[in-house]
Amino acid sequence: MHKMGGFTSHSHMNFCMLCQITPQDKKTERAFQNGAFKPQTNQEHCDLGDCYHKLLGGTPRKNFIKEHVTCYSQLAQLPYFDLVDQIVVGPMHNLFLGLVETHFYNIWVQSKILHPNHKLVKFHEMLADVSQYSFSYSEFWADYYPQFIIPGSCGKLPTDIGMPSGGLLMADQWLLLATVYGPIIVSSIPVPVNTTCSDHMQIPQLWSSCLPEDTDENILHHWVVVIEKLEAKNLWEAKHKAINKKALEEAKNSVRKP
């Protein structure tokens, strides 16, 4: 449907139909802030579509699409139709192969929030337990939650999800992770803490299973700091790489000059 509205590839640098976020920005805090990026507008999209329509030949149009991620749509002729607000994106691409896969793999796995040798391994162990259609919490958590029974009709997920050996998941498998297995494994459970404002704090069960036994409430603040440092490091590396690339291009251009 998005192609009928004049939008092109989801793999482009400006892939989003609602704003001008880039793939590199999807892992950042700004990606979760409303209005953090310049929004796409119906008028601008229609104007770009008209520019595309006036181009002659395949090459100019290919170059235009590469730069603006926009082509012409007959729907732009309808005065009551908004190409940005009224184009419906299928749930397979938008929700399951988009949001769920991006959050789990691109953010949790690739950013090593689920570290391959620690939390991701624990996640696989929990997933294996759930896949056997019976999942029990430890004695402490049993006071808060009963045993989970997963019907066989729900299907299974690869127990090494997030690893190369797990392969590529289909949309229905990401759906299972988001609606069945994931909420059980990463559901928030009460953890006793010594604070004046509350007797418990809510953290994901996966995280609680990976915490040291003698941990306190400061552990959450610690991991927030760790994640912020990781994001700053990735940003610095990307900026440094861009500077080196620019310097290399300038050096090449200076050599070419007579």
DSSP string, 144-204: T---EE--GGG----TTTTSGGG-PPPHHHHHHIIIIIHHHHS-EEEEE---SS-SEEEEE
Whether residue 217 sits in one domain with residue 169: no
Q: Residue 119 falls within a domain, yes or no?
A: yes
Give the per-residue pLDDT at 195.
41
Q: Which residues contact 205 (CB under 8 A, 6 or more apart)?
A: 137, 141, 185, 186, 187, 188, 189
User: Tokens at residue 93, please?
Assistant: 């691409």
Whether residue 106 sits in one domain with residue 22: no
| 50-73 pLDDT per residue, tens | 999 999 888 988 889 888 888 899
* pLDDT tier, 44 (very low <50, low <70, confident <90, very high otherwise): very high
Q: Residue 42 falls within a domain, yes or no?
A: yes
Q: Residue 196 falls within a domain, yes or no?
A: no
pTM, two decimal places: 0.54
Please state whether 11 falls in left (phi above 0), alpha (psi between -120 and 50) or beta.
alpha
Domain of residue 137 covers: 93-191+201-210
| 193-233 pLDDT per residue, tens | 444 434 443 445 555 555 555 555 565 566 667 667 777 88
* pLDDT tier, 250 (very low <50, low <70, confident <90, very high otherwise): confident
Q: Which residues contact 152 (CB under 8 A, 6 or more apart)?
A: 133
Please state the domain count of the chain.
3
Residue in 114, 207, 105, 117 with CA at minimum distance from that of residue 166:
105
Whether residue 180 sits in one domain with residue 151: yes
- What is the DSSP annotation of 101-149? HIIIIIIIITTTSS-TTTHHHHHHHHHHHHHTTEE---TTGGGT---EE
Last-in-domain residue among 41, 59, 89: 89
The arithmetic mean of pLDDT across residues 94-101, rounded, is: 77
Cβ-contact 84, 18 below 8 angstroms: yes
Give the per-residue pLDDT at 47.
93
Give the per-residue pLDDT at 222.
66
